[in-house]
């Protein structure tokens, strides 16, 4: 029972939710914007430039997390390309929870990007073309037609990314370290408890992480299954949105 009432345990859970939540928000925003610029007819699939950018966006999916962490250290470390510039303003991301957010954002970005791209490309292009013929700008078409019709797929992707961010280990360990009460997330705490032989604490953390992630997967699956909306109401709504 002492492990359950341990303040560090609750601190670890709250930090994990905070890191995963912020990372999912940032990755979701960047993923949607990137998917919008690279989807559909704005970037034809035959374009070599499109294929290169698309591959770079998906690269964190296949790279080992430790490789991502090492690359982030090269970029954000005190002697890194970006880290030196940040140090001039008193910003240090190494061994901080903000660094954990950066690491998680990079790791989960492909999930948000891929989901958003698939959702936006599934939108009926005739609705967007109709809005353009009525004088709507690209930004208005996106916010009034494309984004509302793709919102369920995008939300499902962000939910999956949040669950993945809660389990991030390698890149977070490389850039933020494993400091209890400061940068120790759930996955790091499980590893630390296992290494120290505290199986009871490790089991509690595993059950908490598994329960939260399983719930998020159910939510993502439910929302994703509701992604296909009725065409006729969407067409009427899209036309009215473009005219307004």
pTM listed for this prediction: 0.83
CATH code, residues 7-243? 1.10.3720.10
Q: How many DSSP H helices and E strands does the chain contain?
A: 12, 0
* Phi, psi for 77 (deg, rounded to 5): -65, 170
DSSP state of 123: S
Spatial CB neighbours of 165, under 8 Å, sequence gap ≥ 6: 19, 20, 21, 23, 24, 27, 104, 105, 107, 108
**How far out from the chain centre does Cα 6 lie?**
30
Mind listing the pLDDT tens digit of every residue in the chain (244 residues)?
A: 355 566 777 888 899 999 999 999 999 999 999 998 887 655 555 577 788 888 999 999 999 999 999 999 999 988 888 988 998 888 889 999 999 999 999 999 999 999 999 999 888 888 888 888 888 888 888 888 889 999 988 998 998 899 899 989 999 999 999 988 889 999 999 998 898 888 888 898 899 888 888 888 888 777 766 654 443 344 444 445 444 5
Total residues belonging to the chain: 244
Q: At what angle do helices 48-62 and 97-121 cross, to 10 degrees?
A: 130
């Amino acid at each position: 029972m002492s492990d359950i009432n341990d303040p560090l345990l609750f601190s670890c859970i709250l930090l994990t939710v905070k890191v995963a939540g912020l990372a999912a928000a940032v990755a979701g925003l960047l993923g949607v914007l990137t998917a919008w610029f690279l989807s559909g007819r704005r970037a034809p699939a035959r374009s070599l430039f499109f294929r290169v950018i698309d591959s770079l966006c998906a690269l964190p999916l296949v790279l080992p997390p430790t490789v991502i962490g090492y690359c982030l250290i090269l970029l954000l470390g005190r002697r890194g390309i970006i880290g030196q510039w940040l140090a001039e303003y008193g910003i240090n991301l190494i061994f901080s929870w903000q660094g954990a957010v950066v690491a998680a954002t990079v790791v989960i970005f492909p999930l948000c990007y891929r989901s958003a791209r698939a959702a936006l490309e599934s939108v009926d292009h005739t609705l967007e073309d109709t809005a353009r013929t009525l004088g709507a700008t690209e930004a208005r078409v996106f916010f009034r037609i494309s984004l509302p019709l793709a919102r369920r797929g995008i939300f499902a992707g962000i939910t999956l990314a949040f669950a993945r961010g809660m389990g991030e280990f390698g890149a977070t360990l490389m850039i933020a370290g494993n400091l209890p009460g400061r940068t120790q997330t759930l996955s790091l705490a499980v590893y630390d408890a296992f290494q120290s032989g505290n199986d009871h604490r490790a089991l509690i953390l595993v059950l908490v992480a598994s329960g939260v992630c399983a719930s998020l997967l159910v939510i993502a699956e439910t929302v994703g299954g509701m992604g296909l909306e009725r065409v006729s109401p969407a067409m009427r709504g899209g036309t009215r949105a473009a005219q307004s």
